[in-house]
Amino acid sequence: MAMNPMQKKARTSFLLGMLLTLVITGLVIVFLILQISKMKQEQEAIVYRDVYVVSQQVTSGGTILGMVQLQKVEATVAPNNAVTPENSITYLTQLATSKIQLEVGTVLTTDMINVEGTPDSADVRLQEYNMIILPTQLLAGDTVDIRLRLPSGEDYIVLSKKYIEQTNADTIWVKVSEDEILTMSNAIVEAYIMQGALLYATTYTDAGLQGSSTPTYVASNSVINLMNADPNITAVAKTELAARYTEAARAQRDTVNSALGGYAEDATANVEDDTNQEILKQQTARQEYVDSLGIY
């Protein structure tokens, strides 16, 4: 049966539409295949890395206490200088401190960390002091200089950049080496002798970024001689002490000696009175601590 022109035209249009639909469908399928292949390649190219994120807030200048304040996570996107298990031995030592305040969730990077020196030497001890005037807002984790101010106004740095391990209303606990213990003891006694002298602490505003100040207090000749003979003081510390006691430093020591001379008659009584107060405060604090344990 012959097909009229209208039917023929409709059939042709239908076939062309079907062909066009097949072409478009084929192109869409090819596009989807290419996209899936690309996504698969990108997925395979992703590098997963173990990094550390902060799980507890770390203050600026505060010690980073390893897994106490950090959590290891697997990340697909992380800074190139992120701290990883591979470099943690270098950056997460017991002396690692934060240059800035780290908030929870922060990915830890190497430029956030300050690592100084080596682990504590054999002569380092945790020492408590209750005769220092403390800043009203001092907290554990802060960093301080301990200074001695004479009645005449001269002001000396006795200990530099000390991290506050613990603190309460009138006592701080800091790590000190043998030479620092002797220097501090000398400063305490001399502060006791000179009525009006003040042994006090000043807080670093950004301990992570600020360098250590240089101690300017010079111990007495008898204490220096004791340091030189003390086998507990490391050779490195003795070398540093020797370099510190320059002619200018000895002139500063003469200033302190001159100030002490004005209290020669009352020196022993002054030291006894203040030492007794120190002992009483420590005994009271010790008793309160023991009572809180409930084991005696």
Q: What is the pLDDT averaged over residues 23-45? A: 75
Name the pLDDT band for 79 (thresholds 50, 70, 90): confident
- Pick the closest to residue 87 from 61, 65, 68, 115 (CA basis): 115
Q: Report yes or no: 109 and 79 within 8 Å, Cβ to Cβ.
A: yes
Whether 7 shows a pLDDT value over 70: the answer reads no
Query: Could you tell me where the beta strands, DSSP code E, fall in the chain?
Result: 49-54, 70-75, 96-98, 113-115, 125-129, 143-149, 155-163, 166-167, 172-176, 198-203
Which CATH class, in words, describes the domain spanning 49-115? alpha beta
| Alpha carbons 182 and 226: distance in angstroms, whole number | 9
Q: Report yes or no: 120 and 94 within 8 Å, Cβ to Cβ.
A: yes
* Residue 188 confidence (pLDDT): 92
Q: What is the pLDDT averaged over residues 185-209? A: 88
Highest mean pLDDT (candidates 46-55, 95-104, 196-205): 196-205
Domain range annotation of the chain: 49-115, 125-293
Q: Report yes or no: 176 and 188 within 8 Å, Cβ to Cβ.
A: no
| Alpha carbons 155 and 89: distance in angstroms, whole number | 40
